[in-house]
Amino acid sequence: MEHSATPHSYVRAERRRTGARTIRDRDTLYALLDGSLSRSGPGRLAGAPLHVRVLAAGVRLHDKGAPSASLSLLREGLAKAHLAVADGAQQTVALFVPGDALDPEAFVLGHTTAAITAVTPIRIVEIPHSRVREEIERRPDFGIALGRQLARQNALLKEWMASLGRRSAISRTAHLICEISARTSGSDVEAIPFPLTQIELADVLGLSVVHVNRVLQQLRAQGLIDLSRSRLSILNLPRLAQIGDFDRGYLENGDPFPEPRR
Amino acid sequence: MSHFYFHLVTPTGREEDLLGSEFDTLEAAYLDATGAAVAMSSEMLGAREDPGRLRFEICAADQTLLIELPFSEVLRVPPSAPGGLSQELEQAVRLQQTHQALNADLSGGVQRARETLQAIRNTLGGI
């Protein structure tokens, strides 16, 4: 049954059985990895236990272009993908939060397309590409989940490109704060860990450190955020989202396989 | 790393930097502030505001004023802009012109010496 099911029929069957409207990539991958899906789904990942690695802050997982034979899933901490430009400056091109795949493109290309470094201490689970391939053949939703990871990272990149190209310094900063909050917290007012330094923010936002400093203080002075001791509170999300031109729709999973209408 | 504060002085007042930023050296802090001044000026000009009267006061962790950075300084059109030459380039051009003039003088002197020598030979040959 598992082998013969098409992705569409498999997802529909899974949805009917679990009562879930959608199967989210993060949930699915998490469930596959920690075995919780085995209680409600057709089975846990086959084979030997997965390799878990713990990296200290600042440690580089991959160089740009490095060959990769495994898919790395972030379980804890914050990581970044970054590129060095000609004058030695760094541009951060992606931030990864728990649940994200750090190098999904390497499964297709065989190598990474940016350097990946731990921003905080991180814990990752590595799934050999051979097992990813087996799992996709065994469970079509695994392939869909991987495709969603790539699609979501593509959506994030598009927003970042719009920020770097067209948004003002305060707008792109507000947008990033809204985005990180949406990706790491379900609550709009809860203080979330915000371990990015001004230097790291500058590398993400394409701004100088002093400019980032000024913008953060502008947002604080306007009563929109509180940032202290590496914790961020959004005090006025509607206004911050307005300044940041932020609409969280690009972060949400659509439903690629809607139930046919009767 | 040292902590620096970048207070922004505007025509209407002084915006205190309550956070500060970390830099290895004052030079690095100054260079980064220069980049910030350029970017902030660009945004202000886009909004038809005048950044020329703003300045950063860069202070140490104990709030000692280390250096001022007027935005007008980073906005000044450098001599290397089209139609002008940088000071270094102008100096180099002047030096090259001096060398050319000296070479010309030297060549002329050598030529004159040759002519004089030839005249002497001619005179001696006629004796």
Span A51-98, pLDDT tens digits: 788 999 999 999 999 999 999 988 889 999 999 988 888 999 999 998
User: What sign does the CA torsion over A147, A150, A156, A157 have?
Assistant: negative
A17-26, A111-120, A164-173: which has the minimum mean pLDDT?
Answer: A17-26
Q: How far is B63 from chain A (nearest CA, A)?
A: 16
Q: Phi then psi for B36, rounded to 5 degrees?
A: -65, -40
| Contact between chains at B40 and A168 (C-beta distance less than 8 A) | no
Average pLDDT for residues A130-155, to the nearest whole number? 84
Q: Using CB atoms, pick whichever of A169, A198, A217 lies closest to residue B39.
A: A169
Q: How far apart are CA A170 and CA A242, in angstroms?
A: 11
Average pLDDT for residues A22-28, to the nearest whole number? 44
- pLDDT value for B75: 85
Q: How far apart are CA A70 and CA A126, in angstroms?
A: 6
- pLDDT value for B86: 46
Percent of chain A with pLDDT over 90: 48
Q: How far is B35 from chain A (nearest CA, A)?
A: 6
Q: How far apart are CA A164 and CA A161, in angstroms?
A: 5
Size of interface A-B (CB pairs under 8 A): 47
Chain A positions touching chain B (beta carbons under 8 Å): 168-169, 197-199, 207-211, 213-214, 216-217
Alpha-helical (H) ranges within A85-125 are 104-109
Q: Using CB atoms, pick whichever of A207, A210, A217 lies closest to residue B33.
A: A210
- Which chain B residues have a beta carbon less than 8 Å from that of A213? 6, 17, 19-21
- pLDDT value for A142: 76
Chain B positions touching chain A (beta carbons under 8 Å): 6, 8, 15, 17-23, 29, 32-33, 35-36, 39-40, 43, 56
Q: Is A155 helix (H, G, I), strand (E, B) or coil?
A: helix
pTM beyond 0.80, yes or no: no
Residue carrying the six token digits 């003002």: A168
How far from the centroid of its chain's Cα atoms is residue B90's Cα? 12
Q: How far is B79 from chain A (nearest CA, A)?
A: 24
Q: Is the pLDDT of residue A4 over 50?
A: no
- pLDDT value for A148: 82
- pLDDT value for A25: 45
- pLDDT value for A215: 97
- Which chain B residues have a beta carbon less than 8 Å from that of A211? 35-36, 39-40
Q: How far apart are CA A159 and CA A198, in angstroms?
A: 21
- pLDDT value for A40: 37
- Which chain B residues have a beta carbon less than 8 Å from that of A210? 6, 21, 29, 32-33, 35-36, 56
Higher pLDDT, B44 or A253: B44
A191-195, B45-49, B92-96: which has the minimum mean pLDDT?
Answer: B92-96
By CA distance, what is A227's nearest residue in B? B19
- AA letter at A115: A
Span A150-160, pLDDT tens digits: 888 999 999 99
Q: Is the pLDDT of residue A137 over 60?
A: yes
Q: Using CB atoms, pick whichever of B19, B29, B40 lies closest to residue A217.
A: B19
Strand partners, A124: A53, A74
Span A209-236, pLDDT tens digits: 999 999 999 999 999 999 887 888 999 9
Q: Using CB atoms, pick whichever of B19, B20, B39 lies closest to residue A211.
A: B39
- pLDDT value for A3: 38
**For chain B, what is the mean pLDDT?**
83
**For chain A, what is the mean pLDDT?**
81
Average pLDDT for residues A29-33, to the nearest whole number? 50
- pLDDT value for B104: 74
Q: How far apart are CA A122 and CA A139, in angstroms?
A: 28
Higher pLDDT, A223 or B93: A223
Higher pLDDT, A189 or B29: B29
Q: Is the pLDDT of residue B121 over 60?
A: yes
Q: Is the pLDDT of residue B97 over 80?
A: no
